[in-house]
Every structure is written in C-alpha cells, then in structure tokens.
Amino acid sequence: MKKWLIIGAAVIVVALIAVNMLKSSHKALGVEAGKVARKDLVEVVTASGTLTPKRKVDVSASTIGKVTRLAVREGDRVEQGQLLLEIDPTEFRSVVDALQAAVRTSRANLDLARAGRDKAKQDLERASSLFGSGLSSQEQIDAAEASARIEEARTASAEATMRQTEANLAKARYDLDKVTITSPMAGVVTRLNVEEGENAIMGTLNNAGTVLLTVADLATMEAEVDVDETEVVRVKLGQPVKVEVDAFPDTSFAGTVTEIGNSPIYTSTGQSQQAVDFKITVTLDDPIQDVRPGLTAKAEITVADAKQVLSVPIGAVTVREWPPLPKVGKGRRPRPTTAAADTIKREEVEGVFVIEGGKALFKTVEIGVTGEEDFEVLSGLADGQQIVTGPFRILRDLQHEEAVKVDTKKKAAGADKKRD
C-alpha cells in the first residue's frame, strides 16, 4: 500500500511540474533574436542640393548700348579671348574720331607755342648781347624777358592741353574696346540672358547691371548641399563623400568636403517655424560627362567609420528607466507611475535585451558609430551574445527578466528573406 502511495505522489509531482512548465511556456513572450557580431560600420550624413561649377564667370556689360552682334549660343564651348558679343560702337567711335582730331589740333598748337618760346629766347639773348655793346636799352631787355616768360607759359599750357586730350582719346578708345566682349576663360556658355537688339546696362554702385551670359568650366564640379544644424558639427573638411545625381540614376561620384559654411540658411517649414541649415561644398574628384549646372544631387558624407567592431541591429536598441522597480505580486513590476518610483532614483538609458536562461535581461550599452542598419557597441555586450531584435510591439514593453522564447519561424522566415 505504501508503495502505491509513493508512486502516486511521484506522478502528482511530475504532473505539477509539467503543468508549471506548460504554464511558463505559455507566459513566455515570442521574440525575434540575433547575435552581437563584428562588422564594418560607416556613419553618414545625408543632404541634398545642386551641382554647380567650381569656376564660373558672370559676364556683364562694361558700357551701355544695344547688342548688335551675338557670336555664341547657350551650350557653346569657347576659348579664352574668343568673341562673345558686340555692343553698338557708333557713338563710341564718333567720340574717338573727334578726340583724334582734337589731338591733332593740340599737337599743332603745341608746335606753335614751342616755336614762339624758342623765338622769344633768341630775342632775349640778342637783346642781352646788344646791351653789352651799348646798342640796346634796359627797357628792351625787360620786354624781351617778359615775352620769353609769356611764351614759356603758353608752351606749358599747350603741353598740358595736349596731355589731357591724349588722355581723353585713350579713355575713348578704351570705351570703344569695351563694346567688344570676349570670353574671360575657356569653358562652356551655361547661361545666355541677352539677344541681338536688346540693350545692355552697365553696373553702377546701386545697380548690378546686366549679366549678359555665364561662362563656366564644367571639368570641375561641386555639389552645394544643405546640412541640418543638428548634423553639421560632425562634418569636417576633407571627409569623403558619395554623390548621387538624379540625372544619372545608376552612377555615384566620389568627392571631398572642401568648404563648410558659417552662415545659417533659414527655410520656412510652415506655421512660422524655421529650419536652420548650413551650406556644405563638396568638390567632385572626376569630371562628369554631359553634366549641367543645377542638376539635383544627394550627398552622403562619411563622418565616421569603424572596422570589425561589436555591433547590434538598430532595432534592438531601446530605452528604459534604470534601475528597474522592485517586483510586486506574481513577479511583475509596477508601472513607473506608482509610489515605488518616487523612492528610487532612475534615469532613461539606452540598452539591449540579452537572452539568458529563457529570460530577457536588460543590459545598458554605450553606442558609437551609427551604421545604415547597425549600432557600434562600445561597452555593455560581448561578441556572440544572443539579443532580442523584435518584434517592435513586444520590444516596446518588454521588461527586465521577463520570460521569452525565440520564435524560430520568424527567424527562419527572416533568413529566407535575406537569402532571396
């Protein structure tokens, strides 16, 4: 009889254990899992903007007049010194002709003045010689000296008039030369703002004048992109950049950060809110065939990279208040709104749930480089540890030391998806 009692008790114990295990398995949360692994990570700052030539010149009018000849069209390749356009030279040529005549007149007047000066000097010398021989009076010498001084002054005035007239002629010829506009550099005419018959306006202090056309060197291009104020502090001169251009969808271009703007760019985002960006200039390493200024570009600036570092999926990192609250009733912890939260100093920390012994243990981590899909882990985890990676609805409310089980079906499905 005693034997049967022992056997019955053993059966009951086994049954209770089985029931508890069954209940425990039902309580365990199904999660997706991964492992801490070593990877190469690259952190980038992404920004968009447009392509622009590194070197370009806006050609403006240096005089006022009507465009009478247009020697190039937009898209033409030009050499330095090549004729671009001409402005009506009629008025300027008339001024040159008039001043040339004035120069001839001034030169003739100067010749007459010099001749008079020379004669006055000779008369003074003769009078002085005769005075020594007693054949000339003091009054005659005084008159000869006065005449010599007058002729000397007249000659100086004629010389000054001659110099002024020649200067005016040089200025008129310079103005005449300005009606012929040539290319300041070799390149491509990327913009043409004038047609034959239109008036060109010279720039002044209060007026920028007419930009007739733009010549640019398309061999070296830059991408000017706007980077958000929260990310610009990580951008440094010399950092490598991958540039993608919408017009060339299957190609990327290498470049380097060559300029970081210091002046903020304010853009309205609606409801009186403003976004603050900073202009970053990226110089492309190689020429782009068939490129055009103004093409839309996206830049991925490499601000950090790390080789073979411990990493976890971005989705595995979550935020919890730490340390956890003490357990109350049935092993569950109270919500942070309970009175227990007032007695423990807690703070929000980043961490990962490590799976050990069927439980999810929250481990605080220090994050380093942020890759496209993974975070670098600087501390808190070891290579090969199994961690909870999802799903988000479970990970969002998962608690420290909560029972979990790895959902192998989801894991297998995910693996198959990656293989596909």
What is the b/e burial string over 95-106, where b = at least 16 CB atoms within 10 angstroms of the residue's CB? Answer: bbeebeebbeeb
pLDDT at 312 over 90: yes
Instruction: State the pLDDT confidence band at 117, using cuts at 50, 70 and 90.
Output: confident
User: What is the bridge-based pairing of β-strands 29-35 and 402-406?
Assistant: parallel
Assign 142 a pLDDT band (cuts: 50, 70, 90). Answer: confident
Residues 6+ apart with CB under 8 A from 304: 42, 43, 234, 369
What's the mean pLDDT when you consider all of the chain?
A: 85
CA distances from 92 to 16, 71, 157 (A): 113, 21, 28
244/28 Cα distance (integer angstroms): 47
CB 38 within 8 A of CB 312: no
Cα separations in angstroms, 346 against 322, 323, 327? 5, 6, 15
- Phi, psi at residue 215, to the nearest 5°? -110, 130
pLDDT digits (tens, 9 = 90+) for 181-191: 999 999 999 99
Half-sphere exposure of 236 (CA within 13 A, CB side): 6
pLDDT given for residue 23 in this prediction: 47
Instruction: Give pLDDT tens digits for 72-103.
Output: 999 999 999 999 999 999 999 999 999 999 99
pTM given for the model:
0.69
Give the 3-state secondary structure of residue 365. Answer: coil
Task: Determine the pLDDT at residue 8.
Answer: 54
CB distance 175 to 87 below 8 Å: no
- DSSP, collapsed to helix, strand or coil, labels residue 359 as strand
Q: What band does 254 get if pLDDT is binned at 50, 70 and 90? A: very high
How many other C-beta atoms can be found within 10 angstroms of the C-beta atom of residue 402? Answer: 22
